[in-house]
Amino acid sequence: MEQQPQAKHLKDYQSPDYTITTLALDFQLEDSATIVTANTHFVRQNQAAEQVFLNGEHLTLLDLKINGQAYTDYQVNELGITLLNVPAEFDLEIQTQIDPQANFSGEGLYKSGDALCTQCEAEGFRRITYYLDRPDVLAKFSTKITADKTSYPFLLSNGNKVAHGELADNKHWVEWQDPFPKPCYLFALVAGDFDVLKDSYKTVSGRNVALEIFVDKGNLDRADYAMGALKRSMEWDEQRFGLEYDLDIYMIVAVDFFNMGAMENKGLNVFNSKFVLANSKTATDADYDGVEAVIGHEYFHNWTGNRITCRDWFQLSLKEGLTVFRDQEFSSDLGSRVVNRINNVKIMRNHQFAEDAGPMSHPIRPESVIEMNNFYTVTVYNKGSEVIRMIHTLLGEEKFQAGMKLYVSRFDGQAVTCEDFVKAMEDGSGVDLGQFRRWYSQSGTPLVTATDEYDQASQTYRLHLTQKTEATADQTEKQPQHIPLDIELVSEAGESILVGGAASQVLNFTQAEQTFEFTDVASKPVPALFRDFSAPVKYQYDYTDQQLAILIKTATNAFARWDAAHNLFNKYLITNVALVQQQQAIELPDFVIDAYRSLLLDETPDLALIAEILAFPSQSALWQLFEQVDVDAIAQARKAMLDTLAGALSDELLCLYLTNRSQSPYELTQQAVEKRNLSGICLSLYGRVATEHANELAKAHYEQSDNMTDTFAALSAANVAQLDCLAELMADFDSKWRHDGLVMDKWFALAATSPAPDCLEQVKALMEHPSFSIKNPNRTRSLIGSFVSANTALFHAIDGSGYAFLGDVLLQLNKINPQVASRLITPLIQFKRLDATRQALMVAQLQRLLAEPELAKDLYEKVTRGLDQIK
C-alpha cells in the first residue's frame, strides 16, 4: 500500500461550503458503458469559499459545464474533482461514464445477475457521478433512465413516476421525481426484467398507496409473505407511532448480489433476496421472521432515516439504533415478545460484547473512522437499539411517544445528530437525560456486581451495586453510566414480593457504588436482576443453585426464567472448564439436572420458553465468561455437559419431540412455529445419546416433511450428532435444491458448522461446488462466514489451519469485494484473550495481509487495529 489511509474524526466536522438544492440525473444504461449526466444546482453557504470539492471514484469524466458553458478550471484526482473559482450560485452539468459490469464491489451501480442496481450507502454515490457525497447535503432528485426495452423492461428509481416513452432502436425511457429532499446515499436505480407482485394500502388518512415487489422470474410465489409484512409494517407504524407513508408508490426489489440485508432508498427499497423470498418449501420459520423484521426495518426508515437523516456518518446510530428498536418492537408486538427479546439479547452477548472487548471497540457514536463501512456494526445497530430501549424504559411509552412526536415535528426534512434526538426526548418528556448521554460517547460493556443483605427484624432488604467499565482499545478513562435496572424480588417459596404494589420496578443506578433499600419485605428474597435485559451490561451475583432453580420455576418474567437457566448452565460450565483443564471428569449434580427436568415436565408448558432454554449458549457466547479463553477446554466442557443433560433427560426429550412434531399440513401460526422449533431442538439433543434411534427419527422427520423448517431440523440434528443418515440426507437436499442459491445457503452453512474433524477440508471442497460463487456475498457468508464465526473450535484449531484459510480468502476478496472481506475478518482480530500459540498464528495472518501492496482501506483499518493489540 503506497499511502496509508487516514482517519476522519467527529471533532473535525464542518458544514459544507456549498450545498445542492436540485439534481437532475440522466442515465443512458449500457452494461459496460453507462453514461450519466448530472445537472446540479449549487448554492454557497460559506461566503469565503470560492472552490468546491466533489467526491468521485472509478469515473471517466466526459464533459463539464457551469451555467451552460464549457468549464476547464478544475483539478481531478482518484478521489474526486475540485472546481476552482466558482460563483456563489451556479448550475453544474457533468457527464461521466461508468462500467457496471466490471464493478464487483456491491457499491455504486453494478450488475446483479441480469439486472442493474445501486447501493449508495454509505459512500457509493461517488461511483456514479461527481457529487457532494455526504449525508448533510439534501437535494430534490429527478431521474431519467433510458435503456434497451428487451433487456431492461423495468426502469425504477426514487419517488413517483412522472413520464415515460418509447424511442428508436428498441429503447424506452422513464422519468421519476422525488418530492422530498434527500442525501445522495438514499438514491436508487434498478433496471431489469422481473415478475411483479402488486397490491395497495389505504393509509390512515385515506390515501391509496401502490405497493409493488419485484422478484426474479419464476419467484412470484415466494413474494406474498413480504407483501403482507409490508402492509403490516405500514399499519403498525400508523398505530404505534402515528407515522404515515408519504409517496404514491412503495417499491421493493429483491436482488441476489447484495452486501447488506436491504437498503431504505426513498420509495425504492433494494433488498437482498434472502429477506424477501419465502414460502414453506424454501424458507424456515426463522426465515419468515427475518423477512418480516427486515421489511419492517426498511419501511420504518422512511421517517427515522429518510425524512430525518444523519448530519454525518458518525451519527449513524441516530437512524439505525432507533430503527432497529422500532423493528424489534414491531416483531414483538406481532409475534412472541419473549422470543424476540431473547434473540436480540443473544446478539448482544454473543457478538456485541466481544466487539466491545476487541480491537474495533467504539461507542455507538464513534469518534473516528477510516472506512465508514466498517462501522455498520452490532455496536451501532444493536447496542444503539438497546440505548433507545433504555430511554423507553426510563420514560415509559407515553412520554417516549411524546418525545418521538417532538423529534419528528422539530427535525422533519433535516440532517441532525444523536444529541438532537436526546434533546427532543428530554423536551418532550420532561425527564433529564444528562448523565444518560454517556451511552453515546463511551465504549465498552459495564460490569455490574451485586451483593445483598436481609434484616429480618426490620424486614429490610438492601441491594449493593457497583459498576465498572474496563478500558477499551479506543478509550482508557471511563465514567459511571446511568443504568436502568429492572428488578423483581421472589420469595424462597417462589412467590413474587410486591414492592410499592408492583411485582417489579426499575432502579436508576447512576453511581460507581450505590445501595437500594426495600422495606416491608417479609422474607429473604431472591433478586431477578436486569429483567428483559434492561441495560446492555454484564452482571455478577453469587446465586446459589437453589436460588436459580426458584427463578427458573417461578419468576413472573419469562426472560428472567430463561436468564436464570442460562446462568445455571454458565455456572457449571466455568467449573467444568477447570476440571477439563485438570483432566478430571465433569460435574453436573442431580439438582441441576432436575431443575431442567422440571421445565420439561411442566403440565402447562411454555413451548417457546422451553425451546429457548434448551438452545444452550454457543461456544462464542461462553467465551465471554472468561478473561483467558481456553478454546479446547470450553468446547470439551460444553459438549460433555450437553451430552450429560441429554442422557439424563432423554426420555423427556423424546416425549416432547413426539408430542410436538408436525402431524398436520404446514401452518404459519405462533403455536405451530413453537411446536416445530421445540421438536427440532429436542431431536437434536436426543441424537447426542440415542444415536441409533435418533438416526431413524431424523431420517423419517426429513422424509415426511412438507416444509423447509422440518426438513432443515432433521438435517441439523443429523449434523450435530453426526448421525449415519447425514451423508444421504445432505446429498438428497443438494440434488433437489442446487438450482436455488438462496436455499443452498442453508446447506452451505450447515456443512460449514459440522463438528467433523475434516470440516475445513469439506469447506474448501465446497468452494468448487456449482452453486457456490465467491463473488456472491450470500454464498460467501453462508459457507466461509459460517465456518469462521460459528464453527468456533475448528476455526481456532491449534495448528492454525483455519486462520491460514481465512487469510487466503481475504486476499482473494480484497480484489473482489473488500466490504465482505472486512466483515469476515472479525474473528481473526479478536485474539487478545487466546493462548500465546493461537495469538502468534493469528498475528502472522494479519501481518501477511498488511504486506499486501493494494490492501483495501476496509481491511487495512481492521488489520492495523488488530495488530495494535500487540504493541
- Is the predicted pLDDT of residue 101 greater than 90, yes or no? yes
Q: Write down the pLDDT at residue 601.
A: 94
Q: Write down the pLDDT at residue 173.
A: 98
Q: Write down the pLDDT at residue 1.
A: 42
Q: Write down the pLDDT at residue 385.
A: 98
Smallest Cα–Cα separation from 718: which of 702, 705, 738, 734? Answer: 702
Q: Which residues have CB under 8 Å from 795's CB, separation 6+? A: 787, 788, 789, 802, 803, 806, 827
Three-state DSSP class for 172?
strand
Q: How confident is the model at residue 74 (pLDDT cuts 50, 70, 90)?
A: very high
Three-state DSSP class for 204?
coil
Is 69 exposed, middle or buried (CB count within 10 Å of its CB: 0-12, 13-18, 19+)?
exposed
Q: Write down the pLDDT at residue 65.
A: 98
DSSP-based helix, strand, coil % in the chain, nearest 5: 45, 20, 35
Which CATH number is 447-542 given? 2.60.40.1840
Q: Give mean pLDDT, residues 325-344.
A: 97
Q: Write down the pLDDT at residue 871.
A: 77
Q: Give mean pLDDT, residues 215-238.
A: 98
Q: Write down the pLDDT at residue 603.
A: 87
Average pLDDT of the chain to the nearest whole number: 97
- Is the predicted pLDDT of residue 349 greater than 50, yes or no? yes
Work out the angle at residue 380's Cα, subtended by the Cα atoms of residues 376 and 386, and round it to the nearest 5 degrees.
Answer: 145
Q: Give mean pLDDT, residues 818-836.
A: 97
Same fold yes or no, 1-193 and 447-542: yes
The helix or strand, by DSSP H or E, that contains position 115, with its residue range, turns out to be strand 115-119
Q: Write down the pLDDT at residue 374.
A: 95
Q: How confident is the model at residue 662 (pLDDT cuts 50, 70, 90)?
A: confident
- What is the full DSSP assignment across 602-652? -SS--HHHHHHHHSPPPHHHHHTT-SS--HHHHHHHHHHHHHHHHHHTHHH
Q: Which of 93, 212, 292, 298 is catalytic?
A: 298
Question: Which CATH class name applies to 1-193?
Answer: mainly beta
Q: How confident is the model at residue 110 (pLDDT cuts 50, 70, 90)?
A: very high
Which pTM was predicted?
A: 0.98
298 included as an active-site residue: yes
- Radius of gyration for the chain, computed over Cα atoms and rounded to the nearest angstrom: 28
Residue pair 505/499 in contact by the 8 Å Cβ criterion: yes
Beta strands in 205-289 (DSSP E): 208-215, 249-255, 262-263, 268-272
Task: Report pLDDT digits (tens) over 757-782.
Answer: 999 999 999 999 999 999 999 999 99
Task: Report pLDDT digits (tens) over 572-609.
Answer: 999 999 999 999 999 999 999 999 999 999 988 999 99
Domain ranges of the chain: 1-193, 309-441, 447-542
Task: Report pLDDT digits (tens) over 698-716.
Answer: 999 999 999 999 999 999 9
Q: Write down the pLDDT at residue 499.
A: 80
Task: Report pLDDT digits (tens) over 723-736.
Answer: 999 999 999 999 99
Q: Write down the pLDDT at residue 501.
A: 79
Q: Which residue has the cell 410499592?
A: 500
Query: Cα–Cα distance between 536 and 446 in angstroms, integer?
Result: 8
Q: How confident is the model at residue 16 (pLDDT cuts 50, 70, 90)?
A: very high
Which CATH topology does 309-441 take?
A: Neutral Protease; domain 2 (1.10.390)
Q: Write down the pLDDT at residue 199.
A: 98
